[in-house]
Amino acid sequence: MVQLGAAQAAGNQFVPRRQAAVDAALYGRPVKYPSEADLRLRRSAEGRLMGLRVNRYSWWVHWRELGDYFLPRRYKWIITPNQMGRGSPINQHMLDSTPTLAARNLASGMMSGISSPTRPWFKMKIGRIDSTQTSPVSLWLAEVERLMMLVFQESNFYNSLAVAYFDLVIFGTAVILIYEDFENVIRCFNPCAGEYYVDCSDRMHADVLYREFTLTVDQTVQQFGIENVSPAVAQLYSDGGASLTRELVVAHAIEPNTDGRAFGIPEQFRFREVYWEWGGSASPQGGSSYSPGLLRKRGFNEAPHIIPRWDLVSNDAYGRSPAMDALPDNKQLQLEVRRKSQAIDKLVNPPLVADIQLKNQPVSLLPGGMTYVAGILSGTQRPGVAPIYQVQPPVKEIMEDLNEVRQRIKDIFFNPLFQTASQFETRSNITAVEWDMRRSESLVMLGPVLERLQTELLAPAIERTFAIAARAGIMPLPPPEVGGQPIVLEYVSMLTQAQQAAQTAGVERIFALLGQLAGIDPAVMDNVDIDYGLDYMSARLGNPPRMIRSPEELAAIRQNRQAQQQAQQQAAMAQQLAEGARTLGDTQVGGGQNALERMLGGGVT
């Protein structure tokens, strides 16, 4: 990551000395005037942000409803300065927490199943060489994997990843920003839904990220420097005290650096980033001599933003989520829970009707309480209190329907996938075939999501972290054997291995069938490539590649075995011939000759 200074990036115009003196008198310091390139970049970014805001409006409306019913404390991202009510309760729609718990189970299952912090979840390969072998390339790959896992552990990567999985489950879209960090190599940030805007390239890859967020005056100066903020913000910072806590709206854009030369960013960078004060004023004193510039602009060799989506339709920039599918069931659940509570309340504490004589008289409805009424005559109807109507709600039937809705919500969030073992607790006759079929069925449902997350989330995070660590000089130098060959990522997480292992069921059944048919007709083995089948199964089961020999090694072993078998056959034939000759030599046929001499046509001299 390279941060471009003001003069290095755009070559700021020199302010005339007279104007600088006026600025110093008004603001207490010289004002940094933006260059033409900075102004063009700001106008371009602001225009695109407004367009992205229009395109995102319908998604934002949907996200707000999802947040209300699933994750109220996450979606509420305030972008209005000095709005102090952000901590107030906003989950008034939620009476039953089952949907939130189901979403949390899915997010936690994805976290532990795809990218667990407690075990390796990816490996690097160069051709057929991986880190489990003993070559120099293997040793280098093993050290790279160790350092990568160490960086992930020491930074806040896994915390950020957990938040991203939860956002994916609820909103269908998540964002992670990975920046260089002096202390922990990388530092990750999670913009919230409602804060960011996304757009896609022609390949439908989300490579454009805009957002609006808030920073206090103190945070703004700490992050961007006093020399880069507007005079109004600099004045607030110099005032100190309560002015430091005043919030500002900051705009942020990351996009491909396709025309970086026009904006003062070298074209060698694939992506550019710019921060600016949204709606910055001309000057703190109401003057018009100052045009707001940029807080920061810089370039990146690789994308610092990662935007995974759960599921996509056509060319949508934003993804769809399980929570969108479960939203109707969630609304039904919350409504039925409210009605059930009302029914129980009326059953326990029903509305009452009382005799007119009890008006303005103390009445006790407690067990064992006593109420005194004057003028009660024998034989007359005694005054009293009774329910205005009888309430007998079918609580049992309501609970059964509620459990059905809860189970449907859990199914939408793939909870049975992560609870396969618990589903058979009451059964003792579960077979291995049934277990494999049930697990395979569940993994097939989650398969497309795993493929997308590997492409849009895990691979970009690994590539970005590797590049940052390499530029920081942390990674060891590769051996000459690498020779610029590409590094291939192989995912070895629990879910990935389980999904791949499920694919071996068909091969295993074929091998079992061949074993049965070979006893009838050995020629049936000619129909199957046994070597390829074993290689395929070993790879899907996550075994190290060196467990299966290469074709060259296998050919050499078989050739050697064939030569040994031929030598053994020749030795056996020679021994058989020698035994036969000995037998013929010992057999007398008369005339002083044995059988061998008779066969040779004469005596032996």
Q: What is the pLDDT of residues 407-448, one digit of tens each?
A: 999 999 998 877 665 555 555 566 655 555 565 555 567 778
In sequence order, what DSSP letters do the residues of 162-177 get, joined into one string? HHHHHHHHHHSB--EE
Instruction: State the Cα angle at 110 between 109 and 116, rounded to 5°.
Output: 90
Q: Which of 161-175, 309-323, 546-560 has the lowest mean pLDDT?
A: 546-560
For 468-574, list the strands marked E by DSSP: 488-491
Q: Where are the domains of the chain?
A: 2-89+172-314, 551-600
Q: Which of 313-327, 347-361, 415-429, 445-459 has the lowest mean pLDDT?
A: 415-429
**DSSP H helices in 85-156:** 98-114, 136-154
Check residue 74 and give its pLDDT: 62
Q: What are the b/e assignments for 84-106, b being 16+ CB within 10 Å?
A: eeeeeeebebbebebbbebbbbb
CA distance linking residue 278 with residue 206, whole number of Å: 24
**DSSP H helices in 231-375:** 231-239, 322-348
CA distance linking residue 226 with residue 233, whole number of Å: 9
CA distance linking residue 452 with residue 454, whole number of Å: 5
Check residue 363 and give its pLDDT: 78
CA distance linking residue 426 with residue 428, whole number of Å: 7
**Residue 320 three-state SS:** strand
Q: What is the pLDDT of residues 179-221, one digit of tens each?
A: 999 999 999 999 988 889 999 999 889 999 999 988 999 999 9
Q: What is the pLDDT of residues 461-513, one digit of tens each?
A: 999 999 999 999 999 988 888 877 888 888 876 666 666 666 666 777 777 77
**DSSP state letter for 91:** -
- Asked whether the beta carbons of 190 and 175 are under 8 A apart, the reply is yes
**pLDDT confidence band for 34 (50 / 70 / 90):** confident
